[in-house]
Structure 1
Amino acid sequence: MFVQLFSIFWRYWSLIVPTTFITYFVSNKYRYGLAKYPGPWLAAYTDWWRFFDACGRQSEKTFQEIHRKYGDIVRIGPNVLSFADPQALKQIYGLNKGFVKSDFYPVQQASVEGRRLPSLFSTVDEGYHARYRRCVNGAFSMSSLVPYEPLVESTLAVFLKQTEKLFQNTGKTCNLTRWVQFFAFDVIGELTWSKRVGFLERNEDVDGIIDFVSSFLDYAGPIGQMPILDLLLKKNVIRMQLQRWGLWKTTFPATQFALDRQAERENEMNIIKQKGIGALKDVSQAESQENRGIDLLSKFTQAQFEHPEIMTNDMVLTTSLSMVIAGSETTAISLSAVLYYLLQNPRTYSKLLAEIDQAVLDGIIENREDCIVSWTASQKLPYLDAVIQEAFRLHPAAGLILERIVPAQGIEIMGERIPGGTIVGCNAWVLHRRREVFGEDVETFRPERWLEAAPKQLREMKATMFQFGAGARTCIGKNISLLEIYKLVPSLLRRFQLELVEPEREWTTLNAWFVRQLDFNVKFLQRQK
């Protein structure tokens, strides 16, 4: 029988092979029940369309273009729909809606010794996520910002000092995107392990960690569009088994850094794990740790003490590692956006400086020699808040849709009955440019819109903002990122005068899941007060 089948195939392969492919692609168009939704023609037949679009590194522009052309619901894959209407946010990302994350996210899981390390961000198991988040939620709450501020301030002081030494005093050009990335990484080191990585002091990418994170995201963006490719490439069964046997020793640089930091504090963490964080006061060898305050590693380990049935060693490592990868990249992108739009809009820059200077005169901002602005003072600067919100609006960090899977029974979104199993999502770059929400001038950087809006419109604007995600899976590190941004921006502007090297030239962006900025070069001058 087998011989006969093989003989038939061999004789008619030139007909069988193309017929099989055509049948497969045509069935993709119709079998998911999405044929009525418009979109790029190739996207209806294969996910290769969105894979190659992501490889082009300009997907945020693609999403804006296709929604302008096809409307609020666009088919971007055989089983994928992108929604542009802000009403879809609550329906897709709201609490208890039954949606789960797609296989896009596990592509971003690190691995150690052949074991995947699912993080709060990358896990698709909602029950696991809920248990995990309950363990560490307290470490990221708004009330936790007070003890974290001295750690951020310590790194900010080094950042300002090094900026003066390396750029103001020498007149050298600064790649500001790279420089604030160094800051963001060192802050995460300070917050997580009470130890800066050393980017600022050395003015270099320590151990290639930043380049690794960039290449990691370069991979995750396109591969996440067709996750099966990850199982053939970086997480194939042979490679993972060789790692378990110790025959393929590949540990991410960021993972190795996290492992090294935990190893340095192993004795201290064992005490917390067994007796709780309060036990450190009774141990002489840990007394030196007490003065630096409670960092995130200590809090994650305390969570392990309190929830040993949930919080494992791997989860402590993964949570720390997530801070390095997600916590630094997105904050650096947002800081770059704020500073770029200020420098591109001199009137706005001058107006913000005037608010900061007046706050110093009024005693709202302490007139410190190092020019550092406190978190409390920054919250009393309405124009600063408007500038930051407007930068978030025009340049959110994430440049792809945040994918979710419709529950099996199907659900209604924007009046449309969407079949169960469909991948759906929204793109922040599209939502943040809704004219009926933000006004006709959505492409213009105009912070005043946040101050002029009537209360009802302002609520709608804030509800449409999607830079940190939405719902139960909102970025857990949001408050820490805000702490960094609201402290660095006014502190930097108080201390230096910034000038674009090529003011007539727009920067280049690269969408590798997060939309990084290139060609943002500035000069730092001593500010004339």
Structure 2
Amino acid sequence: MGSYVLTILVSTLLGSLSYAVYLRVFHPLAKVPGPLLASLTRLWLVYQSRTLKRHLIELQLHRKYGRVVRVSPNEIIISDPEYVKMIYGANSPFLKARWYETVGPKDADTMNLLGEWDMKKYALQRRLVGPIFTTPALKTRENLLEAPIAKFLSKMKRTKDEPQDIVKWMNIVALDLLTEITFSESPNYIDRATDDANAIDVDAFWQQIHWMGLCPDLWVAFVSVSEWCQRFGLDLFFKADIAKLSIVQYYIGQLTSRASEATRAAESATTPSNYADLASDIARFAAARPDFKPQWAATITLHIIGAGFDTLGMTLSAAIVHLARTPTCQAALHHELDAARNTENLDAMPKYTQTLALPYLQASIAETTRLTPVIGIALPRTVPAGGASIDGYDVPAGMTVGMNPWVLHRDKRIFGEDADTFRPDRYLRASEGQRHVMEAVSLAFGGASRSCPGRNLAYMCLSKTLAAVFLEFEVEVLGEEEVRRCQGEGEGYREECFFVVKWHGVWVRFRERGQ
């Protein structure tokens, strides 16, 4: 018995050593530099993800090892603008990797724009929803954004310079903005000064997804076992479910109410309410297109909030904080806004068209999404049949490759030696060719082949909100000691990455200008 066990142990050890030698010496990616443990097991990348610092870790990896780094036996990350178009460009054959299995079902009847692998189906769905999210179409609903912005400005004026948790407040503003433009009403989070724990719950979803996506087979087993246990009333495994967010339940309630109203109107031959918002636009558009499945209309409506509020909230927070921390930048924006206002080119509640004519404001938004993009991990893609040549390495089909916006957007060859600094002027002083290159490498809203359909809506919300805020206020970022007094001893600033990058413990003071 003892010799049998010894034989098994020795065989296992020799097998493991042989496999390790293969991974380090004979594997197709063996020559790609990177941490030793990363080349031997994917658990190294899982561990790095669990630290919630992958955006910073991958930045340091590239600065240590170069433009191509091996981060698991079959995965490399790349920081070279030359390959953005090849991997993420329109019609790229590099499809989304298995990491995206965790973000939802992808059968024939579902709409899952983030995780869909079938590019023909994805292209159809993007063509169907595209007209709804064009800038001209969104401008017809722009007026719905103005009430939430006005409420926030009024709320901050009443606080009389009291410290404010900027991330909390921008999440609240984003929730009300997106809900108002979708349904012509909102849960009034701004008035209630709460987001009903939506931010905490969506963070829990991403925290689970971002590392379990690295182990897709484990994820499949996890979901199966979890569902089996729930049949018997056993909730043994925590499974984050974005459908349980209170804001998602609010959306479902709104959609259900409108569907019931339409049914009653049809049965009684009366005219239903004539809504004028994104939800009604989506419903009318879907009804006019036989290839637009009925359930897709509800899904894309839910996507507006489920995929948008925390990313919009974080970008608003980052823009305000970057400008406030850089007095010369805040002063430059104030000067631009005042000049436009004094020449009657900017309303007290700015119109989107007016904000597009404000170059420093638009440069500040571009610089925010460059320096602190919401996505903090390499966006994984699978190498297509035939393989790929990347920076002199022959990468076989089936391997995973990706580029991290946090790394790519700080490339000094493109953005200059001060790429780690917030400087909106870089976009204003660059030549047309330089600006084109800077814009071409941006992954702030994903690559061209899979870009976020809500991008135009996000820019409208960002432009109107930031213009309105800085017209009215001078913003001051509180120091660390004052932050601790606001939120308790032991608490301070922290930055976490779980696919999306979130800030915590950033407090500001809104001082009304002219007082």
Secondary structure of the corresponding residue to residue 324 of structure 2: helix
**Which of 263, 287, 299 is residue 305 of structure 1 equivalent to?**
287
- What pairs up with 1:9-408 in 2 under 5 angstroms? 10=5, 12-29=7-24, 33-109=28-104, 119-165=112-158, 167-168=159-160, 171-206=161-196, 208-233=197-222, 235=223, 237-240=224-227, 252-253=244-245, 254-268=247-261, 283-284=270-271, 286-287=272-273, 289-290=274-275, 293-295=276-278, 297-313=279-295, 315-366=296-347, 368=348, 372-408=349-385
Per-residue deviation at 1:145?
2.2
Call closer, same or farther: CA 1:349–1:491 in 2, change over 3 Å: same
The answer to whether 1:514 aligns with 2:500 is: yes
Q: 2: distance between equivalents of 1:197 and 1:137? A: 27
Structure 2 counterpart SS, 1:36: coil
Q: Does 1:443 align with 2:420?
A: yes
Match of 2:463 among 475, 478, 486: 486
- Call closer, same or farther: CA 1:32–1:321 in 2, change over 3 Å: farther
Q: Residues 231 and 32 (structure 1 numbering): CA distance in 2 closer, same or farther, change over 3 Å?
A: farther
Contact 1:399 1:514 in 2 (8 A): yes
One-letter amino acid of the counterpart of residue 389, structure 1? A
Preserved contact between residue 223 and residue 229 of structure 1 (Cα < 8 Å):
yes
Aligned equivalents of 2:100, 2:405: Cα separation in 1: 17
- Aligned pairs for 1:470-485 (under 5 A) are 470-485=447-462
Provide the C-alpha distance between the structure 1 equivalents of 2:359 and 2:187, rounded to a whole number of angstroms. 33
Whether the 8 Å CA contact 1:402–1:427 is kept in 2: the answer is: yes
For 1:528, give the aligned amino acid.
G
SS of the residue corresponding to residue 403 of structure 1 reads strand
The one-letter code of the counterpart of 1:511 is C
Cα distance change of structure 1 residues 135 and 422 upon mapping to structure 2, 3 Å threshold = same
Structure 1 residue runs of 5 or longer lacking an equivalent are 1-5
Deviations 1:482-510 (A, max 9, x none): 00110111101112222222179995311
- Checking the alignment, whether the CA contact within 8 Å between 1:67 and 1:73 is kept in structure 2 is yes
TM value normalised by structure 2: 0.89
Q: CA RMSD in A?
A: 3.0
What is the DSSP-based 3-state SS (H/G/I as helix, E as strand, rest coil) of the residue aligned with 2:198?
A: helix
Q: What percent of counterpart residues are identical?
A: 28
Q: 1:476 to 1:30 in 2, by over 3 A?
A: farther
Alignment check: 8 A CA contact 2:148 2:177 kept = yes
1:359 corresponds to which letter in structure 2? A
| Alpha-carbon separation, structure 1, partners of 2:221 and 2:212 | 11
Alpha-carbon spacing, 1:28–1:187, altered in 2? closer, same or farther (3 Å): farther
Is the 1:132–1:311 contact (alpha carbons within 8 Å) kept by the matching residues of 2? no
Per the TM alignment, residue 127 of structure 1 is displaced from its structure 2 partner at its CA by 2.0
> What are structure 2's unaligned runs of at least 5 residues?
484-491
| Aligned CA distance change for structure 1 residues 245 and 198 (closer, same or farther; 3 Å) | farther
Shift of 1:23: 4.6
Instruction: Please identify, of 263-272 and 243-252, the stretch whose mean Cα deviation from structure 2 is larger.
Output: 243-252
Deviation sequence 1:121-180 (CA, Å, 0-9, x none): 122221221122122111111222211211212221222222223x23xx4321011101
- Kindly state the Cα deviation for residue 306 of structure 1 after the two structures are TM-superposed: 3.5
SS of alignment partner, residue 52 of structure 2: coil
Aligned counterparts of 2:89 and 2:105: Cα–Cα separation in 1 = 28
TM-superposition CA deviations, 1:53-78 (whole Å, max 9, x none): 11111111111111111111111111
Partners of 2:60 and 2:264 lie apart in 1 by 56
CA separation in 2, counterparts of 1:137 and 1:300? 11
TM-score by length of 1: 0.87
Q: Cα offset for 1:271?
A: 9.0
Deviation for aligned residue 1:409: 1.8
Per the TM alignment, residue 346 of structure 1 is displaced from its structure 2 partner at its CA by 0.7
1: distance between equivalents of 2:59 and 2:190?
37
Q: Aligned pairs, how many?
A: 500
Aligned partners of 1:156 and 1:183 also within 8 Å: yes
Letter in 1 for 2:509: K
Segment of structure 1 superposing worse, 87-96 or 404-413: 404-413
Contact persistence 1:103–1:124 (CA under 8 A)? no
Structure 1 residue 373: Cα displacement? 1.2
**SS class of match (1:373):** coil
8 A Cα contact 1:258 1:317, kept in partner: no
Residue in structure 1 matched with residue 487 of structure 2 by the alignment: none
Q: Tell me, in whole angstroms, the C-alpha distance in 2 between the residues paired with 1:492 and 1:14.
A: 67
Q: Flag the 1:25–1:194 CA change in 2: closer, same or farther, 3 A.
A: farther
Give the equivalent residue in structure 1 for 2:431: 454
**What are the Cα deviations for residues 319-347 of structure 1, in whole angstroms up to 9, with x where unaligned?**
23322232111111111111111111111
Is 2:489 the partner of 1:499? no
Shift of 1:118: 5.1
Local SS of the residue matching 1:104: helix
Find the counterpart in structure 1 of residue 489 from structure 2: none
Greater mean deviation of Cα atoms: 304-313 or 22-31: 22-31
Partner Cα distance (2:46, 2:116) in 1: 22
Contact 1:410 1:418 in 2 (8 A): yes
Aligned to 1:34, the other structure's residue is in SS state: coil
